[in-house]
Amino acid sequence: MNQGTALHLKWPRQSKLQCSVQNANCVVMVPPKEFGFNAETAKDNEFQQPVTMDSVAVRAAAMGEFNTMVAALRKVGVQVVEFDYPKSEQETPDAVFPNNWFSTTQDGAFYTFPMACNNRQHEVRPEALMKSLRAAGRVIIATDSMESYAKRGAYLESTGVMVKDHVNRTIYAALSQRCEREALEDYAKRIGYHRVVSFQTALPSGLPIYHTNVMMAIGENFAVICADLIPEYERRFVIKSLAKSKQVITISEPQMNHFCGNILQLETVNGDKVIAMSQSAYDAFTPSQRQQLSTHGKLLPFDVSTIETVGGGSVRCMLSEIFLPSRVKSL
């Protein structure tokens, strides 16, 4: 695919597995077989916390959380592609968060992205993943890469830093060392999205939020956001933009710290809406907020406390949406 262009492909008919505009019905998940505390990412990820458990116990606990989540998603009808990659000399403690290095579009494009942390760059295995996606019945027509930006020290960590309103072709993004403005706007042009809403954030430490998807989520008709992190002059603009077409549910910073912003609306293969979140997030939402969210889909809470504490990411980080067309069998 050429830089600055978007694919415009027409499909003669859709299969039952075709997803909607906003929500995917298929996700990639990566087992945490090398999971552990990543000192490199902890430099700007304040959600990570070291624990007293040894590495074997941490990985065993994380694997249990992962397997339970995979089984539950499949049970409700979300297609899960489990990408069990081969180990390399360099361990990848954060591979359980695959949404940071690739994304897909309904046009059949597969994109890879530059990641800021060196040991996370070893997670990028596009050929192996595309093979798994094709085996799962998904069609890849073109590939493109944003990774050349890394040569100039610019990074864009996919749907970690970009929260997409696919319905309105708008990308929301908190700028940080993991989200460079030029790369962000370039990517938006490549996929044909006409609007980018980027903004600054500040935690109590003074650091920006490391990933937008920790403070913000967008569904088909709702948005969750920790607006207090955004400077007031930008905050009003972001909220107004979201409110044009979404029910806006604002969360506090303590709620964000329990990963209330790190949730994801999905669809089952039958078109039913579900909202995946951690048990920590579910418990931190107020009853009225849970009621509001439940009008947009069945709430699916998962206990991923080990992964949240050690890895600094939650359920949404573990889910890479697959929007690729599904292969249609001839009649």
Q: Could you read off the pLDDT of 73-109 as tens digits, one per residue?
A: 999 999 999 998 777 778 888 899 999 999 999 999 9
Report the length, in residues, of the chain. 331
For residue 12, give the amino acid letter. Answer: P
C-alpha 101 chain-centroid distance: 10
Q: What is the DSSP letter of 219?
A: -
Residue 15 has pLDDT above 50, yes or no: no
- Report d(CA 199, CA 172) in Å as an integer: 8
Beta strand 142-145 with 163-165 is unpaired
Q: What sign for the dihedral angle of Cα 168, 173, 179, 183?
A: positive
Ordered by start, the domain boundaries in the chain are 26-321
Q: Using an 8 Å Cβ cutoff, are 223 and 248 in contact?
A: yes
Report whether pLDDT(308) > 80.
yes
Backbone angles phi, psi at 112, to 5 degrees: -115, 155
Residue 36 has a pLDDT of 59
Residue for token digits 């050929």?
127
Environment class of 272 (CB within 10 Å of its CB; exposed 0-12, middle 13-18, buried 19+): middle
Q: What is the pLDDT of residues 229-250, one digit of tens each?
A: 999 999 999 999 999 999 999 9
Q: How large is the average pLDDT for residues 176-193? A: 96
Backbone angles phi, psi at 190, to 5 degrees: -60, -35
Percent of the chain with pLDDT over 70: 87
Rounded distance, CA 268 to CA 67, Å?
19
pLDDT computed for residue 65 by the predictor: 97
- The superfamily (CATH) of domain 26-321 is L-arginine/glycine Amidinotransferase; Chain A (3.75.10.10)
pLDDT reading at 4 higher than 60:
no
pLDDT band, very low/low/confident/very high, at 49 (cuts 50, 70, 90): low
CA distance from start to end of the chain? 31
The tokens 């077989």 sit on which residue? 33
Q: Is 149 helix (H, G, I), strand (E, B) or coil?
A: helix
State both tokens at 16: 């039952």
Of 14-18, 35-39, 47-51, 56-60, least confident by mean pLDDT is 14-18
Stretch 254-263: mean pLDDT: 97
Q: How, if at all, do strands 163-165 and 170-174 pair?
A: antiparallel
Could you tell me whether strands 273-278 and 264-267 are parallel, antiparallel, or unpaired per DSSP bridges?
antiparallel
- What's the mean pLDDT in 17-40? 78
Where residue 16 falls among pLDDT bands split at 50, 70, 90?
very low
Helix runs in 122-266, H state only? 126-135, 158-161, 181-190, 212-215, 232-243, 253-257
Spatial distance between the Cα atoms of 96 and 311, rounded to a whole number of angstroms: 9
The pLDDT assigned to 2 comes to: 40
Answer whether residue 277 shows pLDDT above 50.
yes
Q: What dihedral angle (degrees, nearest 10) is formed by the CA atoms of 160, 162, 163, 164?
A: -130
The pLDDT assigned to 43 comes to 52
315 pLDDT higher than 90: yes
Q: What is the mean pLDDT of residues 144-164?
A: 96
List the single range of 16-20, 162-166, 180-184 with lowest mean pLDDT. Answer: 16-20
Distance, C-alpha 331 to centroid of its chain: 35
